[in-house]
Amino acid sequence: MSSPQPDQDRRRAAIDWDLLWEKFGIAIVLILVWIVAAVGTPRFANLDNLSSVLRQSAFVGISAIGMTIAIIAGTFDLSVGSSQALSAWTAVLVAAHYGVIPAFIAAVLVAGIIGLLNGSLVVLLRIPAFIATLGTMFLISGLTFIFTNGQTARFNGKDFVWWGNGQLGGIPVPFLIFLLCVLIGIVILHRTPFGRYVFAVGSNIRAAHVAGVPIGRTVLCVFLIVGLFTGLGAALLGSRLYSAGPGLEPGFELNVIATVVLGGTRLAGGRGSMLGTLAAAILFATLANILNLHHVDAFVQRVAVGLVLLLALSVEGIRQRLFERWNRRNHQPTNPAP
């Protein structure tokens, strides 16, 4: 009989290439975009400009770390934009009266409470995540307008502003914090039982239930984590802008989800990469920066971002179909030799 070893080797090679693309594909695209941008837009390669790109990537990217965990678990949170606005306003207000550390703690606590609210709606009341977080988005947005009277809080204290605008070793502080968050995300997903639960729930929730995975507790913690990361990013953004108020960043939640999806995390759940999210956040910031350097209108920029996301999803869909076709072809039984 013919040996199945060659078929097994081919399948293993296909899986390896698929995983490599999932983890590093967007990073390769990012490098190519940087090379083309450096050649076609000379101002892009300026060190101050590159520093600005890295800094800008952090504000969406930090929240995207939490969202990556959520989408891997098969859920998502549409309220991160409203949560960001309220948390950033809280950070600026508290910083003006009590200092930097209480400001960051307050922002993280506010967003964490919102995350727990979302998790409770999904787990305890069994409301679908889309409906629950959409409702929370409007609720928090309305409360933010009520609390702030529609006014923007401002504070430009040097210690507070440094966190959003300072540098360490020539690298923007927000980006260094973003890298730390990526590392924390990797540890959570790949070095803890909770991380295994997240992948299990996202891959097959019924199988996870049969295997004894605490699904409710896992999903609740996922929403809490989304909130905590969003609160941290919001405090940094308030520090960056010296101010915060209602409608801080319209469409922020969609930018976060787009970053996660572009980074290779499957919307269906079960698979995803923190490094992919890191690269995607930098890529989005890079594209926005290039368009700004060419004085492209902000509305046209949103069209460009949408086209990039659609292209990424199309490539992901084609890649998945090719991989599934390869698997079907190579899982056919081998006929015995005559």
**Number of domain units in the chain:** 1
Structure tokens at 48: 């101050």
pLDDT for 130 beyond 70: yes
Residue 293 within a domain: no
pLDDT for 293 beyond 70: yes
pLDDT for 226 beyond 70: yes
Structure tokens at 91: 């950070």
pLDDT for 79 beyond 90: yes
The answer to pTM > 0.75 is yes
Residue 42 within a domain: no
Residue 67 within a domain: yes
Q: For 36-76, write each residue's pLDDT tens digit.
A: 999 988 889 899 999 999 999 999 999 999 999 999 999 99
pLDDT of residue 276: 92
Q: What distance lies between CA 156 and its chain's CA centroid?
A: 28
CA distance 164 to 238: 8
Q: Do 76 and 70 meet the contact criterion of CB atoms below 8 Å apart?
A: yes
Please report, for residues 4, 190, 296, the alpha-carbon distance to residue 326 in angstroms, rounded to integers and kept in the order given.
Answer: 16, 28, 42
Instruction: Please report, rounded to a whole number, the percentage of residues in the chain having pLDDT higher than 90.
Output: 67
Structure tokens at 52: 């600005």
pLDDT of residue 333: 45
pLDDT for 206 beyond 80: yes
The whole-number average pLDDT for the span 84-106 is 96
Residue 319 within a domain: no
CA distance 227 to 221: 10
Residue 336 within a domain: no
Q: Rounded to the nearest 5°, which phi and psi values hold at 32?
A: -65, -40
Domain holding 163, by residue range, is: 61-275
Q: Do 248 and 83 meet the contact criterion of CB atoms below 8 Å apart?
A: no
